[in-house]
Amino acid sequence: MIKYAHITGTGSFAPEKVLTNSDLERMVETSNDWIVSRTGIKNRHLVQNGTGSSDLAARASQIALAKAGLDAKDIDLILLATVTPDQPLPSTACLLQDKIGASNAAVMDVVAACSGFVYNLSIAKAMIQSGQAENVLVLGVETLSKLVNWEDRNTCVLFGDGCGAAVVQAKDEPGGIMHTYMKSNGSLADLLMVPAGGCKVPLNEENIKNGARYINMAGPEVYKNAVKAMGEAGSIVLKKSGLSGDDIKLMIPHQANIRIIDSTAKRLGIPMERVYVNIHDYGNTSAASIAIALDEVIGKKLIDKGDKILLVAFGAGFTWGSIIVEF
C-alpha cells in the first residue's frame, strides 16, 4: 500500500551572535535605510570561528527528533542540504550522523543552494513512497558568513547562518508532502557562484586576494531570474495539484529579498497576509531559509490540520522548486 510522507517534527537553530545593519554601517559604505528598503533585512546571525554547519545541524536535529517523538537511531536516511560543508570530505551529513548518534541511517549531502531543503523534501517523499525509507531527517543548513567577502557591500549585507530540520515519516494517512517540482539551469551558473576553493580552481594567494574564494553575485540578474523562476515553480505545483492561490493557507518562500517575495506572491495571487516572512531576522540563509521558516510557522501554530502550504525556492545553479504540503 502506498505510504504518505508526513512532516512530524521540525526544529531550527541560529547562532547567538547577531550582526545588525548598524554594525554593517561601520564596516562598509551602506545604510540601514538602503538595506531595509532594497532587501527587507535587519539582522543576520553569524557563527563563531570553529563552529561548522554540522554543529548547527545537530542542534536543529535534536529539536526536530524530540518533536517527532523519535530517537536518532530510528532515522534510516539523512538528507542534508548545504553549500557550506564543514570540510570537503566526508559529507557534513556524516559528521552530523556521528554527532547525534543516528547510527542506523544512510546519509548524504545534497548541493542545490537555496533550493536544497525543497529538493530534499522531494527526495524524502520519493524514498518513502518507493519503500526505501521510513523515517527521514531532512536538513537545510548554512554557515554562509564564511563565504562572504566582508569588504563587498553588494553581498555582505545579504547573508546569514542558521539551520532548519524536519523529520519526514511514512504514514498510511493521506496528506503530507503532496506535489513537488524541481528544476535547474546550469547555463546561468556564472551569475551566482564561489569561483575558487574547489579542486579545479584551488585556493591560492591570487584568488584569495581577488575575492574569488567568496560569493560573487550579479545581483540584478539573479533578482530577475528569481522572480521568474519562483513564479513558475509556484504555478506549476499549484496546477499539478489542481489548486489555486486561494487554496493555500500560507506560502513559505525562500527568504532572499522582500521584493522578490512580494513579486512572487503577486504572480501567484496570494496576498502578503498569507506569506510567511522572517528575512528581517535572518537575512538570506540559503538552504536553511525555508526550513527555519517552516519550523517557525509550526511553532507559532499558524497552520491547522488539513491546511495546505506552498514552499517555493530559488538559488544558485540556478536551481528552483516548489512543494505543496497538506498538514
Task: Kindly state whether residue 256 participates in binding ligand UT7, applying the rule CB under 6 A.
Answer: yes
Catalytic annotation on 94? no
Least CB distance from residue 201 to ligand UT7, whole Å? 21
Give the three-state DSSP class for 131.
Answer: coil
Nearer to ligand UT7, 21 or 97 (CB): 21
Nearer to ligand UT7, 121 or 287 (CB): 287
Give the single-character DSSP code of 82. -
Grid cell locating 254 = 525562500
**Binding residues for ligand UT7 restricted to 47-106, rule: CB under 6 A:** none
Distance CA 304, CA 323 (A): 18
Q: Which of 284, 285, 319, 322 binds ligand UT7 (CB under 6 A)?
A: 284
Least CB distance from residue 194 to ligand UT7, whole Å? 13
Nearer to ligand UT7, 30 or 129 (CB): 30
Q: Which of 97, 257, 285, 322 binds ligand UT7 (CB under 6 A)?
A: 257
- Cβ neighbours, 10 Å, residue 197: 15
User: Catalytic pick from 94, 114, 156, 163?
Assistant: 114
Of the listed pieces 149-157, 233-241, 264-272, 299-307, which binds ligand UT7 according to CB under 6 A?
149-157
Task: Kindly state whether residue 222 participates in binding ligand UT7, applying the rule CB under 6 A.
Answer: yes
Chain centre to alpha carbon of residue 34: 25
Torsion of CA 219, 225, 226, 229, to 10 degrees: -170
Task: Kindly state whether residue 114 participates in binding ligand UT7, applying the rule CB under 6 A.
Answer: yes
Distance CA 141, CA 135 (A): 19
Q: Quick one: which H or E segment has residue 39?
A: helix 32-39
| Contact criterion met (CB below 8 Å) for 72 and 104 | no
Kindly tell me the burial class for residue 153, based on how many C-beta atoms sit within 10 Å of its own C-beta (0-12, 13-18, 19 or more).
middle
Distance CA 140, CA 257 (A): 18
Q: Which of 62, 104, 129, 154 binds ligand UT7 (CB under 6 A)?
A: 154
Q: Give one DSSP letter per residue of 200-260, joined into a string.
A: SS---HHHHHTTTTS-EE-HHHHHHHHHHHHHHHHHHHHHHHT--GGG-SEEEE--S-HHH
Nearer to ligand UT7, 240 or 267 (CB): 267
**Binding residues for ligand UT7 restricted to 198-217, rule: CB under 6 A:** none
Task: Kindly state whether residue 39 participates in binding ligand UT7, applying the rule CB under 6 A.
Answer: yes
Give the single-character DSSP code of 185. -
Of the listed pieces 66-74, 151-159, 166-174, 300-308, which binds ligand UT7 according to CB under 6 A?
151-159
Least CB distance from residue 84 to ligand UT7, whole Å? 13
Task: Kindly state whether residue 144 participates in binding ligand UT7, applying the rule CB under 6 A.
Answer: no
Task: Kindly state whether residue 228 participates in binding ligand UT7, applying the rule CB under 6 A.
Answer: no
Catalytic annotation on 257? no
Distance CA 108, CA 181 (A): 21
Catalytic annotation on 179? no
Q: What angle do CA 259, 263, 266 make, to 5 degrees?
A: 140
By beta-carbon distance, which residue lies closest to ligand UT7? Answer: 219
Task: Kindly state whether residue 223 participates in binding ligand UT7, applying the rule CB under 6 A.
Answer: yes
Task: Kindly state whether residue 34 participates in binding ligand UT7, applying the rule CB under 6 A.
Answer: yes
- Judged by the rule CB under 6 A, the positions of this chain that interact with ligand UT7 are 30, 34-35, 38-39, 114, 153-154, 157, 219-220, 222-223, 226, 256-257, 260, 284, 314-315
- Residues carrying an active site annotation: 114, 254, 284
